[in-house]
Chains A and B, each alone.
Chain A
């Protein structure tokens, strides 16, 4: 051996030198375990690059103490570098176990997957997003169309689904949501009264807090907050249940039995949610006004009778009806979004999580968008 070109790593477990025939000799010594960390193959790569192509790579292991996958992993990477430079690798001096594991890892050549070159230009990325959005919109429209057809079949008494599923959905989207809807709307009514009171007290008009809460809750916030709560609760539940059914091939099983998943799974859920939402919103309205009453009586020194009388005089039927009509639309939107993402779920556990998240996010966004559309339309209609 002559003309050594020493290159050692920090732990001095690796020494690289050239022998008289020009071969690169890699001497491994000390402990090569995962607990001691994995030495880099940079020094081997540098040496291979500086040597003529086809230079032999020889491993020596005279000073090697203990080893595990750290050594085999290093050898595997080094063998890959050598193969790229057309260099033969001599592993005869390595421990037999390490040599056999290395042979095993190299036995099947890595599969080269054909890759389409990715265009990273801004225009390409915008185009990709736009195309995906277009496809999703088309698909969602298909789904909506299927649901409308199923609804038509239901109205003609020809829809096929289990009544017990409708009952379950009614319970889940109705009674099951009473607690959370009560809590949220009670607090919203109280907060609205409190914020209003701070401003109205300055003008000596505290009693108008009752008007603010009554109209704000029944016309707007009762329905909106209930819609948002239901998107997070029932929409997520629909997406998770239907997503899991998709992953478990239960939806495929329905199809091969000649049963339409939209009729069988989506229709009862849409019907239940759109039927239950108005009932929940009526309940939410009462609790919202109750929350406002509590603040009015406890903090603003208004009499309970006085407050409720002011509420009654300010409350017109149209405000309540508008809130209830909106709630039907919110129910349809929440159920459709949850079911859409559930039925179109991928085929893995992660896909169910993704479907649920998307259902909640899109459900909330659509509830707010629908609310905005209603507000503009009602303004135009002077209602």
Chain B
């Protein structure tokens, strides 16, 4: 992964199994979110490929990649709700455009998705009219709109109070349990990593590569002092 001649991360190789919660962690500025952007089709890797079920994402033509996007849902760090639309319009837009649902059907599904994240009754609100935690949940409802096979979360707890953060974690777990969705979590929040993560990779900002991979509990005993210190919130 690179921006022009500046390499962000190199030699990254890992697998995510269907149905697991996979955590991408590392210190600030190591390129976690950039890695996610490469995985969801926003940034083309300088070298290498992203494979889904063995199918290359970046080698595919644009139309195939666009269709492929229907299998992914993304909750961005700031929720990235379309500010000129109500919550209901935010969720129903992808349903109308990608699934070709009529306005009534799209509205019904949007209401269900908003209810699933505890936002029933807020359908007519604009993103600016609700709190940060509610915006995150609305973003999640939109990410779930197309029933994606894989859900990506970029720093879901960023800017949330502990209670909202906990609620969102519970929601993520519930989603996996109820629908078997594969979940990729970009975070450095230790409680979320240990509570949710089945598997994880650790990206290092200084060496610009991934230095550990495995179950979060196992990584507490990693050979890498930096990984141990990170997970124990200790000193190097």
A249 with B98: CB separation less than 8 A: no
Give residues of chain A (251-274) contacting chain B, Cβ–Cβ below 8 Å.
Answer: 252-259
Given contacts A255-B42, A257-B93, A258-B98, contact A249 B70 (CB under 8 A): no
Closest A residue to B68 by beta carbon equals A258
22 of the cross-chain contacts (CB-CB < 8 Å) are A162-B93, A245-B82, A248-B83, A249-B80, A250-B80, A250-B83, A252-B74, A252-B76, A252-B80, A253-B74, A253-B76, A253-B142, A254-B82, A255-B69, A257-B69, A257-B94, A257-B97, A257-B146, A258-B66, A258-B94, A258-B97, A258-B98
Interface residues on A, range: 10 to 19
How many whole Å from B63's CB to the nearest CB in chain A?
10
Contact of B42 (CB < 8 Å), options: A160, A250, A252, A258: A252
Q: Name the residue among B41, B80, B81, B93 with the largest chain A CB count within 10 angstroms.
A: B80
Interface of A, secondary structure class, is helix
Residues facing B in A148-207 (CB within 8 A) are 160, 162, 165, 168
Task: Select from chain A the residue with minimum beta-carbon distance to B77.
Answer: A249
Which of A162, A249, A255, A259 has the most chain B CB within a 10 Å cutoff? A249
Is B40 positioned at the interface, with any CB of A under 8 Å from its CB? yes
Chain A residues positioned under 8 Å from B69 (CB to CB): 255-258
Contact of A248 with B80 in the complex, beta carbons under 8 Å: yes
Known A160-B97, A249-B76, A249-B77: A256·B42 in contact at CB below 8 Å: yes
Task: Write out the residue numbers on chain B whose beta carbons fall within 8 Å of the beta carbon of A249.
Answer: 76-78, 80
B contact residues around A162 at 8 Å (CB)? 93
Give bound CA distance, A323 to B11, whole Å.
59
Provide the B142-161 mask, 1 if CB < 8 A to any CB of A, else 0. Answer: 10001000000000000000
Using a Cβ cutoff of 8 Å, how many contacts connect chains A and B? Answer: 55
Indicate whether B233 reaches chain A with its CB closer than 8 angstroms: no
Q: Is B47 an interface residue (CB 8 A)?
A: no
Closest-by-CB residue of B relative to A111 is B206
Total residues of chain B contacting the partner, CB 8 A: 24
Closest-by-CB residue of B relative to A255 is: B42
Chain A residues in 8 Å Cβ range of B37 = 252
Interface flags, A50-70, vs B, CB<8A=1, else 0: 000000000000000000000
- Distance of B169 from chain A, by nearest CB (Å): 22
The 8 A-B pairs at the shortest CB distance, nearest first, are namely A249-B80, A258-B69, A253-B80, A249-B76, A257-B94, A256-B74, A258-B66, A250-B80
CB 8 Å contact bits of B80-104 with A (1 = contact, 0 = none): 1111100000000110011000000
Q: Which of B48-62 contact A (CB under 8 A)?
A: none
- Contact partner of B40 (CB less than 8 A), chosen from A248, A250, A256, is A256
Interface string of B88-124 (1 = CB under 8 A from A): 0000011001100000000000000000000000000
The CA of A226 and the CA of B146, in the complex, are separated in Å by: 44
Say yes or no for B140: interface residue by CB 8 A criterion. no
CB distance from A236 to the nearest CB of B (A): 18
A250 partner residues in chain B, CB cutoff 8 A: 80-83
With A250-B81, A252-B76, A252-B80 as known contacts, state yes or no: A257 contacts B41, CB within 8 Å: no
In the bound complex, CA of A315 to CA of B72 (Å): 61
Complex: A274 Cα to B97 Cα, angstroms = 26
Check B97 against A256 for contact (C-beta < 8 Å).
no
Q: Give A251 Cβ to nearest chain B Cβ, in Å.
A: 9
- Interface 1/0 per residue, A129-146 and B, CB below 8 Å: 000000000000000000
Query: For B70, what are the chain A residues with a Cβ–Cβ distance below 8 Å?
Result: 258
Q: Closest CB-CB distance, B154 to chain A, in whole Å?
A: 9
- Nearest Cβ on chain A to B95's Cβ, whole angstroms: 10
Question: Bound complex: CA of A162 vs CA of B98, how far in Å?
Answer: 13
B95 — nearest CB in chain A belongs to which residue? A257
Verify A256–B77 contact, CB threshold 8 A.
no
A68 to chain B, nearest CB (A): 28
A356 to chain B, nearest CB (A): 17
Q: Chain A residues with Cβ under 8 A from B142's Cβ?
A: 253
With A249-B77, A253-B74 given, can you name 12 additional A-B contacts, CB distance below 8 Å? Answer: A160-B97, A248-B80, A249-B78, A252-B37, A253-B80, A253-B81, A256-B40, A256-B41, A256-B42, A256-B72, A257-B146, A259-B94
In the complex, the answer to whether B82 meets A253 with C-beta atoms within 8 Å is: yes
A259 CA / B83 CA spacing, docked (Å): 16
* B residues near A245, Cβ cutoff 8 Å: 82-83
The complex places the Cα of A258 from the Cα of B67 at a distance, in Å, of: 7
Chain A: minimal CB distance from B124 (Å) = 15
The complex places the Cα of A255 from the Cα of B82 at a distance, in Å, of 12
Q: How far is the CA of A253 from the CA of B142 in the complex (A)?
A: 10
Taking CB atoms, residues of chain A closer than 8 Å to B83 are: 245, 248, 250
